[in-house]
Amino acid sequence: MEYKLTFKEYNEAMKTGKLLGLKCKDCGSITAPPKMVCRKCGSENLEIIQLKGTGQITTFSTINVAAEGREAECPYTIVMVKLEEGPWLLGNITGVEPLKASMDLVGKKVKMQQATIFGGDKFSAGESARPLFALV
């Protein structure tokens, strides 16, 4: 069975600021990032939809020790965002000084911005968009 929404298509859309997801035609749940089946009920009966990109920060961390090759990015803040449609995404936050990021961020409303790009390294089989959020 053919994969409905591949990483490549999801990634290309994100680079243009569009967040795609899958809506289950059986249970109505939204799956994002994409999978073969609905993450709730396992159905293959899915359609591609565009998500709003709005949500709430559920948690965060400011990273001071990076993976090999990414040391220059430190310090940077990662956030988990619960999208309005349900799924959680991992991304970065703009407009917040990394070393000042605090528990105040939790629960804050955010909107997805134009994605930045992780250029990839020798292990990663190419580049990937990295979701970027800003406080609203």
Q: Cβ distance 51 to 20 under 8 Å?
A: yes
For 10, the enclosing helix (H) or strand (E) is helix 7-15
- Judged by CB under 8 A, the stretch of 17-25, 46-54, 82-90 that binds other proteins is 82-90
CB-CB neighbours of 2 under 10 Å: 5
36 binds other proteins (CB under 8 A): no
Q: What angle do CA 84, 89, 83 make, to 5 degrees?
A: 5
Question: φ and ψ at 106, to 5 degrees?
Answer: -65, 125
Give the residue, chosen from 24, 30, 32, 57, that forms a contact with Zn ion under the rule CB under 5 A. Answer: 24
**Which one of 13, 36, 49, 80 is in contact with other proteins (CB under 8 A)?**
80
- The one among 3, 6, 7, 27 contacting Zn ion by CB under 5 A: 27
Q: Does 118 bind other proteins (CB under 8 A)?
A: yes
Chain residues binding Zn ion by CB under 5 A are 24, 26-27, 29, 38, 40-41, 43
